[in-house]
Amino acid sequence: MQRGIYTAATGMLAHQYVQDAIAGNIANASTVGYKQDIPTFKSFQEIAMHRLDGAGARSSRPVGNMVFGVEFDETSLDLTVGSLEHTRNPLDVAIAGPGFFVVQTPRGERYTRNGQFQTVPGAPGPDGKKTAVLADGSGNPVMGQKGPINLGAGGNVLIDQTGRVFVNNQEVDRLRLVDAPARALVKEGGNLLSARQPVAPVNTRVQQGYLEQSNVSAISAMVQMITVQRAYESAQRAISAQDDSLGRLINEVGRG
């Protein structure tokens, strides 16, 4: 009886993890380049069941495995590409395939699908004139093949589909695009990711004047939230039913 209560309780905890992940996804449904979280689980203990003969001895015929619940394993990322929105802003760039932009943060290089870039002041040039550097929305420099992408004194910025960056028709650098398996990526907040293993360069197409939207479907997430809530309540009712049965059993045995 207690085993059933514990099994149902693990189900409630699992549904709580899923509910938290869905809530986070819904909160970021309008975040540029956001990738939704998918919690995964694994069985918690498992034993092999065998048929018993009339004398109580175990026969050689297996019945199957009995699982005593589930436990949280890890949260993985859904790297499905979101829809591309045409913004006509020359500093907006979307990745139309796999891969990530690389930005330089105070904690080191980080990765993002958010191509909503801006320009920030860079170090003065050799002639002492002001320069501009391509950066993300938080001011972190966007990395190119030569390092932070320096736009010089600024001007008309063009980024072609291969990631080459031109200023006033002069090529200055090329976007550094990398990729890594979903299991190797860790969210750090601010729509940035770190990697638990080395990233690899990737050849992928980019589109200037576009932004990749979140791959979260708010409607689907709301349906999932309702389904998870009902499953949570079912596990809760199972615990209550087993607890009531256990209480009656104890009281009846006590009276006997």
Q: What is the band of 20 on the pLDDT scale with cuts at 50, 70, 90?
A: very high
Is the per-residue pLDDT at 101 higher than 60?
A: yes
pLDDT interval class at 56 (50, 70, 90): low
Strand 143-144 and strand 147-148: the pairing is antiparallel
The structure tokens 């479907």 sit at 217
> Lowest-confidence range among 75-84, 117-126, 182-191?
117-126
Using the structure block, give the residue that is written with the tokens 């390092």. 147
Q: Do strands 210-212 and 84-86 pair parallel, antiparallel, or not at all (unpaired)?
A: antiparallel
Contact, 38 vs 21, CB < 8 A?
yes
Please provide the distance, in angstroms rounded to a whole number, between the alpha carbons at the two ends of the chain: 20
pLDDT at 132: 93
Give the pLDDT band (50/70/90) at residue 42: confident
Q: How far apart are CA 184 and CA 50, in angstroms?
A: 40
- Asked if pLDDT for residue 58 goes beyond 60, the answer is no
User: What tens digit of pLDDT does each residue of 174-219 get?
Assistant: 999 999 999 999 999 889 999 999 999 999 999 999 999 999 999 9
Q: What is the pTM of this model?
A: 0.81
Residue 237: partners with Cβ closer than 8 Å, 6 or more residues away: none
Residue-level pLDDT at 118: 97
d(CA 204, CA 101) in angstroms, rounded, equals: 11
Q: Do the bridges between strand 37-43 and strand 70-77 make them parallel or antiparallel, or are there none, so unpaired?
A: antiparallel
